[in-house]
A and B are shown apart, each in its own frame.
Chain A
Amino acid sequence: GEDVEQSLFLSVREGDSSVINCTYTDSSSTYLYWYKQEPGAGLQLLTYIFSNMDMKQDQRLTVLLNKKDKHLSLRIADTQTGDSAIYFCAETSYGSSNTGKLIFGQGTTLQVKP
């Protein structure tokens, strides 16, 4: 079945790099996503990676994909207090009827200490 796993909590100091990890099970996933949710707010799409890519960089964000191990990571360089939020990993899953849906991990709460 489809499953996405993330660690629940990460604490870093301001200025350090943060690495949030995710594992998924659906090998047919075409796209993998990272969403950010600030307290009391909606989900903001941060970045996504196509499954035939190994890496994608977007300013302070670097996404690494290891398709063999079904492992996805999000690295945030020079982490700021404004990066404190919950980060969700998600995969696109297609069932037998070819209907797509997002399967989310449990979310990783990133705490950035000044």
Chain B
Amino acid sequence: DTAVSQTPKYLVTQMGNDKSIKCEQNLGHDTMYWYKQDSKKFLKIMFSYNNKELIINETVPNRFSPKSPDKAHLNLHINSLELGDSAVYFCASSPTWPRQETQYFGPGTRLLVL
């Protein structure tokens, strides 16, 4: 009965590789998000999708590409990984847009780039 799930939980990879993180929500929400949490625990939004449409795209390098095959899924693909990409990536979802009331977060994917 997991609400927002992410895979994998941990990801260790070499610089230059391409990797994907998957997110699924079973809450029936229309809006999904990706956040990045750095080593100092600072959380910042990266992307938001509403009903498979991109609505927020912060100043994120274009090596990061979100993909939403349907409104229950929002995946994050990262090309040419760099050391600075090491962080925890959180997926979230919320029921309404644009005036979302609450966002529910997944458990996070801990990415370490060596």
Contact = CB atoms under 8 A, between A and B. Distances in A.
Interface of A: 30-31, 33, 35, 37, 41-45, 48, 86, 88, 92, 94, 98-102, 104, 106-107
B105 A42 contact: yes
Given A42-B107, A99-B48, A48 B102 contact: yes
A22 B40 CA distance: 18
A31 B95 CA distance: 14
A99 B55 contact: yes
B45 interface: yes
Contacts of B107: 41-42
A111 to B, nearest CB: 15
A interface secondary structure, majority: strand
A104 B56 contact: no
- How big is the B interface, by class? 20 to 34
B100 A100 contact: yes
A87 to B, nearest CB: 11
Contacts of A33: 102
A108 B92 CA distance: 21
Contacts of A101: 33, 45, 48, 56, 58
